[in-house]
Chains A and B, each alone.
Chain A
Amino acid sequence: MLIEGKTGPWEIVIGLEVHAQVISKAKLFSGAATDFGAEPNTQVSPVDAAFPGMLPVINRFCVEQAVRTGLGLEAQINLVSVFDRKNYFYADLPAGYQISQYQRPIVGKGKITLDLPGGETREVGITRLHLEQDAGKSLHDQHPTKTYVDLNRAGVALMEIVSEPDMRSPEEAGAYLKKLRSILRYLGTCDGNMEEGSMRCDCNVSVRRPGEPYGTRCEIKNVNSVRFVMQAIEYEARRQIEVLEDGGTIRQETRLFDSGRGVTRPMRTKEHAHDYRYFPDPDLLPLVLDPAWVEEIRNSLPELPDAKKARFMREYKLSAYDAGVLAAERESADYYERVAKGRDPKQAANFVMGDLFGALNRLGVGIDRSPVSAENLGRLIDLVADGTISGRLAKDVFAAMVETGQDPATIVEERGLRQVTDTAAIEQAIDAVMAREAAKVAEYRGGKEKLFGYFVGQVMKATQGKANPAVVNDLLRKKLAG
């Protein structure tokens, strides 16, 4: 995407660094728990608080999660990786260093395929993924002059996933985050919850004239929703273009996104520029992975969104767009497949993406808490297919299902919604309508044929919608013809 400036078109160049909290009961180097929302400083071991003499011991499960994620990103798994110390002083960093991976990360180059509107796709390179500890939290708003420190988060395992500067628009950045989140959730390695901070994003943004080398980039730290990421990039790109077009230069700096005002601003400049003095952590041996173990993890990977999307297109003949939407979340994909099994897959997709997603949206719940089970939605489709109810009535039945959670057959029976295919009953209704509307019948017969729809509507109304529309059409046409 190009942005038109006062002096010509500009291209945005975006790279994202995502910090994804690893799903694990225990922290990366201690046995302390990781539950979100616990009372401050209740999930802290002496290791997390960096008490004297305490030593880190790597959590095997967190390593497995990182490998699983790497495999899900089709990335190279480094059988030998090294933990380094990143040294800096801050009150919520108890040891005065963060254990991270600097020169030798556990995962190397990989890729993510973005699903763009219109069913287009685009590949974005993954530079690396490494494991590191999270810091604690400084709470500045609890006391007028003091800062409180909560170490519950200190030591929690994070995966830092770094992309190549391959994205060219805020939309692509949004699609990247959605796809990454989808993959992580499929893998069960991160819950992707940006509001709770279990997924955080730093955006590297620069602009350039098309075809020219990369411009100077600014990093926008810690943006916490997909929407904000897109807004922040959009704002930042326009800001940079304005600076450049006014003859200024971009200073490489770290900025923050103010979501209230929709702007980015420079972070308070620290008096001291950080020199992190990385060096290998002498408390930890290099992390050596058994290739057989990596293969074991590879073989246990679930079908991932891209593969699932392709299969949906192939097996169910869905459009790229529909397949992409349904495959985005494991839960919705599973739901869809249960509905589609043995039924018309297109119709199943329409129900799931249209009626069901609409209802869930209105209710503000996820598919895992849907009031309509996949089995019941399937039965509803069956009732339409075997002519028990009309497609139009199916909407009403569905609404009742959302409300009551009941089986569609029960609703149809209890409310007497069974479709009328009895020609005698329908003929009777048609006769009544024609008798009442004699003038209109004359008009129709005089050539005003578009009145046909009106008659259909009247007959349907007379039968409370239960009449089989095909039968109504058929009989009505004959009778009107005289």
Chain B
Amino acid sequence: MTALTRLTIAEARAGLAKKEFSARELARAFTAAVERAKPLNAFITETPEKALEMADASDARRARGEALPLDGIPLGIKDLFCTKGILTTAGSHILDGFHPPYESTVTQKLWDAGAVCLGKLNMDEFAMGSSNTTSYYGPVESPWRRPGDNRPLVPGGSSGGSAAAVAARAVMAATGTDTGGSIRQPAGFCGIVGMKPTYGRCSRWGIVAFASSLDQAGPMTRTVRDAAIMLGVMAGHDPKDSTSAPLPVPDFEKALTGDVRGLKVGIPREYRVDGMPAEIERLWAEGVEWLKAAGAQPVEISLKMTKYALPTYYIIAPAEASSNLARYDGVRFGLRVEEGQSLDDMYEATRAAGFGAEVKRRIMIGTYVLSAGYYDAYYLKAQRVRKLIANDFKAAFEHCDVILTPTAPSAAFAIGEKSDDPIAMYLNDVFTVPVNLAGLPGLSVPAGLSSEGLPLGLQVIGRAFDEETVLRVGEVIEKAAAFTAEPAFTAG
């Protein structure tokens, strides 16, 4: 039954509907794959028993003729989503033993649609990182290798466990979250599809917060169609999240018409950054050609503020994080280190032990930029620049319908390769971060291999709440690219 793990959501949906196999069989195939995928360290918590239980319930529903949209589809959940009664860590020591008494809105919607939970996926601590090397639970290895080189590579981050598990066929699809590229960059690195929806499209309720004005949940799948199916379930207004948009959820799958004739595809000239490998340039140009061949019309656009996006992001995101992470104080849940006599002693000991180096770095940056005397120069200015970046996109979308860019300026790198240079690490997100700052939808589609034989992604950016066009264009690229390469390691 190994072949079951190679199915896409759309294929499994059809197979289940035709009773070619049961949800239980599907779940069994995947729990075995999860087991085999252990060397990747993609999971923090595995829930095989729960998976079988949920699969049985799914089979029972189907037998009663009450099958749901995602019935029996086995998923992995990034460990940033609170799951009722299941350990939720955000990849951090400080959430030791935290079993939330509630279920995040997005995961609840998935379960309500019949999906099956395989477990909680590893990630950079508090979603801070681009290589999945900051997790308290150890780094995740990408299932990919450079041919002839057995050094483990990073899967990207922060949703690195999600990307690795999907690429290794250990889960059929996974949830991710994206604050500055955390879905799209690992999707690019691992050769899968990753979608960050418009800010406000999916509820943030029950997702451990990193940077509230940027965080957004999204699907990580093997195909664009699967992303459309999964997003349709994850999305929707939630009165429990004041920033979620009170808009109806379109039928995203229906948007996949394959017809991009007459669409204008913006090519931002500022995205040709210094030091970007020529092969990424070439792939980008190839992407333009594919869309042109399908009847779309490339137009050159300008996103002048692009170069300010990273510094802006690295003020706003840490500022919000420094405040969001204040609640991890050892008083009510998670880790508590009792040293010294005073409350302050306990705070210091708990947070010193509970947070890793990258989280501490960002808390300090964030605290600094919000401090009296620095607020205006940093935080306030960053907010103004953020507005300008959003205006840039708004102006560009007067001349085009979508924007095409590379997902990241490089392919995956070896674990440890960039870890002593935070700035080099931050540069990974140079193409994805502006999209978060502007709150727009962005999709990474695997488009080719680097000269080293590693996946490279292209990113499609759309207008706010126009995921439909983004997905439609993404699917056309996917078809044209015909990306069939597989990682060295597959669990199924």
A contact set with B: CB distance below 8 Å: 46, 49-58, 85, 87, 89-91, 94-97, 147, 149, 271, 275, 277-279, 282-285
Q: Are B332 and A94 in contact (CB under 8 A)?
A: yes
Majority-rule SS of B interface residues? loop
Known: A91-B343, A277-B370, A285-B242. A53 touches B207 (CB 8 A): yes
CB distance from A135 to the nearest CB of B (A): 13
Bound complex: CA A137 to CA B81 (Å):
30
Known: A57-B240, A282-B320. A96 touches B375 (CB 8 A): no
Q: Are A53 and B326 in contact (CB under 8 A)?
A: no
Cβ-neighbour of A284 out of B242, B347, B370 (below 8 A)? B242
Known: A89-B347, A91-B343, A279-B370. A53 touches B100 (CB 8 A): yes
Note all chain B residues with C-beta closer than 8 A to A89.
326, 329, 344, 347
Cβ-neighbour of B212 out of A51, A52, A282 (below 8 A)? A282
Having A53-B206, A97-B326, one finds 8 other A-B pairs with CB under 8 Å, namely A46-B102, A53-B104, A53-B207, A55-B241, A56-B242, A57-B239, A91-B331, A95-B327
Note all chain B residues with C-beta closer than 8 A to A279.
319, 323, 370, 375, 379
Q: Are A147 and B240 in contact (CB under 8 A)?
A: no
Q: Does B98 contact A (CB under 8 A)?
A: yes
What are 17 contact pairs spanning A and B, CB under 8 A?
Answer: A49-B332, A52-B327, A53-B104, A53-B208, A55-B205, A55-B241, A57-B241, A89-B347, A94-B327, A96-B327, A96-B329, A149-B331, A277-B322, A277-B370, A277-B375, A282-B212, A282-B243
Bound complex: CA A57 to CA B347 (Å):
28
Note all chain B residues with C-beta closer than 8 A to A282.
211-213, 243, 320
Q: Are B243 and A277 in contact (CB under 8 A)?
A: no
- B95-133 Cβ-contact flags toward A at 8 Å (1 or 0): 100101110100000000000000000000000000000
Q: Are B372 and A96 in contact (CB under 8 A)?
A: no
Bound complex: CA A262 to CA B23 (Å):
75
Note all chain A residues with C-beta closer than 8 A to B322.
87, 277
CB distance from A277 to the nearest CB of B (A): 4
Q: Are B331 and A97 in contact (CB under 8 A)?
A: no
Q: Are A97 and B323 in contact (CB under 8 A)?
A: yes
Within 8 A of A (CB), among B298-322: 319-320, 322
Known: A52-B95, A53-B209, A89-B347. A283 touches B82 (CB 8 A): no
Q: Does B333 contact A (CB under 8 A)?
A: yes
Note all chain B residues with C-beta closer than 8 A to A91.
329, 331, 343
Known: A89-B347, A282-B320, A283-B212. A55 touches B240 (CB 8 A): yes
Within 8 A of A (CB), among B187-240: 204-209, 211-213, 239-240
Bound complex: CA A46 to CA B82 (Å):
12
Within 8 A of A (CB), among B323-372: 323, 325-327, 329, 331-333, 343-344, 347, 367, 370-372
Bound complex: CA A294 to CA B82 (Å):
39
Majority-rule SS of A interface residues? loop
Bound complex: CA A55 to CA B212 (Å):
10
Known: A53-B208, A285-B242. A275 touches B372 (CB 8 A): yes
Q: Give the residue name and chain of the A residue nearest to B200 (CB).
A: A285
Bound complex: CA A57 to CA B322 (Å):
21
Q: Are B323 and A277 in contact (CB under 8 A)?
A: yes
Q: Does B407 contact A (CB under 8 A)?
A: no
Bound complex: CA A91 to CA B243 (Å):
28
Note all chain A residues with C-beta closer than 8 A to B208.
52-53
Q: Are A96 and B95 in contact (CB under 8 A)?
A: no
Note all chain B residues with C-beta closer than 8 A to A85.
323
Note all chain A residues with C-beta closer than 8 A to B343.
90-91, 147
Bound complex: CA A418 to CA B452 (Å):
115
Note all chain A residues with C-beta closer than 8 A to B5.
none
Q: Give the residue name and chain of the A residue nearest to B204 (CB).
A: A55
Q: Does B90 contact A (CB under 8 A)?
A: yes
Q: Are A87 and B213 in contact (CB under 8 A)?
A: no
Q: Are B205 and A87 in contact (CB under 8 A)?
A: no
Cβ-neighbour of B90 out of A50, A52, A55, A95 (below 8 A)? A52
Note all chain A residues with C-beta closer than 8 A to B205.
53-55
Bound complex: CA A377 to CA B305 (Å):
78
Note all chain B residues with C-beta closer than 8 A to A285.
242-243
Bound complex: CA A94 to CA B211 (Å):
18
Bound complex: CA A91 to CA B240 (Å):
26
- B44-86 Cβ-contact flags toward A at 8 Å (1 or 0): 0000000000000000000000000000000000000110000
Note all chain A residues with C-beta closer than 8 A to B81.
53
Q: Are A52 and B320 in contact (CB under 8 A)?
A: no
Bound complex: CA A242 to CA B462 (Å):
70
Note all chain A residues with C-beta closer than 8 A to B327.
50-52, 94-96
Q: Give the residue name and chain of the B residue nearest to A151 (CB).
A: B332
CB distance from B418 to the nearest CB of A (A): 29
Bound complex: CA A275 to CA B319 (Å):
14
CB distance from B350 to the nearest CB of A (A): 11
Most buried by A among B100, B323, B375: B323
Q: Give the residue name and chain of the A residue nearest to B333 (CB).
A: A51
Bound complex: CA A53 to CA B205 (Å):
6
Q: Does B88 contact A (CB under 8 A)?
A: yes
Note all chain A residues with C-beta closer than 8 A to B242.
55-58, 283-285
Note all chain A residues with C-beta closer than 8 A to B320.
282
Q: Give the residue name and chain of the B residue nearest to A270 (CB).
A: B344
Known: A53-B82, A53-B205, A95-B326. A87 touches B370 (CB 8 A): yes
CB distance from B61 to the nearest CB of A (A): 28
CB distance from A137 to the nearest CB of B (A): 14
Bound complex: CA A283 to CA B244 (Å):
10
Note all chain A residues with C-beta closer than 8 A to B101.
46, 51
Q: Give the residue name and chain of the B residue nearest to A284 (CB).
A: B242
Q: Are A52 and B240 in contact (CB under 8 A)?
A: no
Q: Are A96 and B326 in contact (CB under 8 A)?
A: yes
Note all chain B residues with C-beta closer than 8 A to A52.
82, 88, 90, 95, 98, 100, 208-209, 327, 333
Bound complex: CA A379 to CA B207 (Å):
67
Note all chain B residues with C-beta closer than 8 A to A278.
370, 375
Bound complex: CA A97 to CA B327 (Å):
8
